[in-house]
Structures are given as C-alpha cells and as structure tokens.
C-alpha cells in the first residue's frame, strides 16, 4: 500500500461527520486509516451545524460531541474535537482545516472524507483550496460501487491535481496528495442505529457500550424525538 508521505513531523487525521450517533463503523474505519497511513492521531470533529443536512433527526451538537468523547476515551490515538461547536454559523470543513493548520503547524494534516460526502465536494465552501492545506483520504465502504476516481473529481480539482500511477494517488503542487481508499470495516450506519432506537430495539455491538448507555440515560433518538 502506498501512503502519502510527509516528513514534517506528526501526521494528524481529521475525521469530520455528523456522528448522529458515532458507531463502531466510524471507529473501525478510523482505525484502518490510522494503521494504513501511519497517522499519529485522529481528531473526530462533530459538525455543529452541517450545511448539507436537514436538522429534524439531528440531536443537539453537545450530545453528539459527548458521545464522540465517550467513544474515543479508551484510545490514545483518537481525540474528540469541539472546534466546530466553538464557531458560530454553518460548520464548513475549510474553516476546520484552517483551524488545525493554524494550531498544529507544521504537522501534516490528512482530511478524511467518505465517498458519499466527497461526491458533493463541489458544493463545499472554498473546496478547491483544500488540497493546498492538507492531504485528502477519500474512503469508500465495501460493497458500495464507486465510479472511477477521475469521474468524481470536480473540474476545479481536476485542474489542480495530476495522477501519479506509481503511487496510485493524485498529487497537488503543494506536495499534498489525494488518495481513494477502500475501508474493509463494518457495515453500520447511524441511520440504522437511529432506526433501531426508534423501534426500541437493541443497538448493542453497533455502538461502544458507553455510547449506548449515554443514549439510554439521555433518552436520545426515542420515537417521540425523531420525525424521520
Ligand atoms: P447517516 O446514516 O446518518 O448518513 P453515517 O453513518 O454515514 O450517518 P456520518 O456521521 O454521516 O455517519 O459519517 C461520517 C463519515 O463516516 C462519512 O464520511 C461516512 O462516509 C463515514 N462512515 C460512516 N459509516 C461508516 C462505516 N460503517 N464505514 C466506513 N465509513 C463510514
């Protein structure tokens, strides 16, 4: 496996998501990425106000952050980040990347994004700037048929990136790279977890035990709270 390399010290992953709630699929995916790309740490960044999500099934951001904190507490390589809760306005990825660029410089940053979200990257604020600031790891899930990577790159990124066949990655003049990486992890989704909770069914072994306990204690995702 070829991995993007950067010799400027630490390699830090940034894994954004709604985490509504965080589940073992997220954690296994992050672990595979940490291992494959030899990352020193991964920050899990819950979106406070995701610009592309409707809010009716989204529990309040402090609950989602707390669940992330509980989920990563036993892993020294994983850390929850409240950075998007500390900002006002919509949670734009570019602002989060700039925050980590500022606070962690000169670490090499690896922004981790699912293929589902990457398909819409052309709608993101200042998306063409992202490869100038960090590496991109675009993850797909097993069983999900994905188009060829070149069909997924929006025009502005096609112009800025070129394909390096020897390392099976795209490269940017800044030295950053974009890699498509298939996750072999767990087929779990937050929608599935919420659906089970709405039906008052068990979510055991789908989310970490402390997260399941927190959901129960705070009566999150109960039938009366979900309009989905
Ligand atoms: P929902 O079911 O509500 O759409 P989700 O399970 O996809 O939620 P998100 O918080 O939206 O969770 O996901 C954050 C990121 O994690 C996304 O980029 C998504 O592609 C990725 N992801 C989610 N579940 C998995 C999984 N089981 N394996 C690998 N990646 C995942």
Residue with CA at minimum distance from ligand 1 atom 20: 114
Question: What is the pLDDT at residue 218?
Answer: 97
Q: Is the pTM of this model over 0.85?
A: yes
Instruction: Give, for ligand 1, the residue of 18, 36, 228 to mutate: max count of ligand atoms closer than 8 Å to Cβ.
Output: 18
What is the model's pLDDT at position 45? 97
Task: Read off the tokens for 163.
Answer: 């394909």
Distance 129 CA to ligand 1 centre (A): 24
Predicted local confidence at residue 156, as pLDDT: 82
Q: Which class for 90: exposed (0-12), middle (13-18), buried (19 or more C-beta within 10 A)?
A: middle
User: For residue 147, what are its two tokens?
Assistant: 């188009």
Q: Distance from the CA of 190 to the center of ligand 1, in angstroms?
A: 7
- Which carries the bigger pLDDT value, residue 157 or residue 207? 207
**CATH no. for 5-188:** 3.40.50.620
Tens-digit pLDDT profile for residues 152-182: 888 888 889 999 989 989 999 999 999 999 9
Per residue in 99-131, pLDDT (tens digit) is 999 999 899 999 999 988 888 898 999 999 999
Rounded distance, CA 12 to CA 99, Å? Answer: 13
Q: How many other CB atoms sit within 10 Å of the CB of residue 151?
A: 7
Q: Which atom of ligand 1 is nearest to the CA of 112?
A: 18
State yes or no: pLDDT of 88 exceeds 90: no
- Contacts of range 95-103, beta carbons closer than 8 Å, 24 or more positions apart: 95/125, 96/14, 96/16, 96/45, 97/14, 97/130, 97/133, 97/134, 98/133, 100/12, 100/14, 100/43, 100/134, 101/133, 101/134
pLDDT-based confidence at residue 141 (cuts at 50, 70, 90)? confident
State in Å: Cα 189 to ligand 1 middle: 6
pLDDT at 225 over 60: no
Domain residue limits, the chain: 5-188
The pocket around ligand 1, CB under 6 angstroms, is made up of 17-20, 25-26, 29, 113-114, 116-117, 139, 141, 183, 185-191
- Measured by CA distance, the residue closest to atom 18 of ligand 1 is 114
173: CA distance to ligand 1 center in Å? 30
Angle in degrees, CA 155, 11, 50, rounded to 5 = 50
Q: Are 151 and 118 in contact (CB under 8 A)?
A: no
Q: Per residue in 29-67, pLDDT tens?
A: 999 999 999 999 999 999 988 766 655 589 999 999 999
């Amino acid at each position: 496996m070829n991995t993007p390399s950067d010799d400027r010290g630490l390699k830090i992953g940034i894994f954004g998501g709604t985490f509504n709630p965080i589940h073992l699929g997220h954690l296994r995916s992050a672990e595979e990425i940490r291992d494959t790309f030899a990352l020193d740490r991964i920050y899990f960044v819950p979106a406070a106000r995701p610009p592309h999500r409707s809010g009716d099934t989204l529990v309040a951001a402090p609950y989602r952050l707390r669940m992330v904190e509980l989920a990563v507490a036993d892993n020294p390589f994983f850390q929850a980040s409240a950075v998007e809760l500390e900002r006002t306005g919509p949670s734009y990825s570019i602002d989060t990347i700039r925050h980590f660029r500022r606070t962690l410089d000169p670490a090499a940053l690896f922004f981790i994004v699912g293929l589902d979200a990457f398909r819409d990257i052309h709608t993101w604020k200042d998306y063409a700037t992202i490869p100038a600031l960090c590496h991109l790891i675009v993850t797909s899930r097993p069983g999900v048929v994905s188009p060829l990577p070149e069909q997924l790159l929006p025009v502005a990124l096609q112009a800025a990136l070129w394909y390096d066949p020897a390392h099976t990655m795209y490269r940017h003049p800044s030295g950053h790279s974009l890699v498509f990486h298939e996750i072999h992890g767990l087929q779990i989704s937050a929608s599935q977890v919420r659906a089970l909770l709405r039906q008052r069914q068990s979510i055991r072994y789908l989310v970490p035990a402390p997260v399941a306990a927190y959901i129960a204690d705070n009566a999150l995702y109960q039938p009366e709270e979900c309009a989905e």
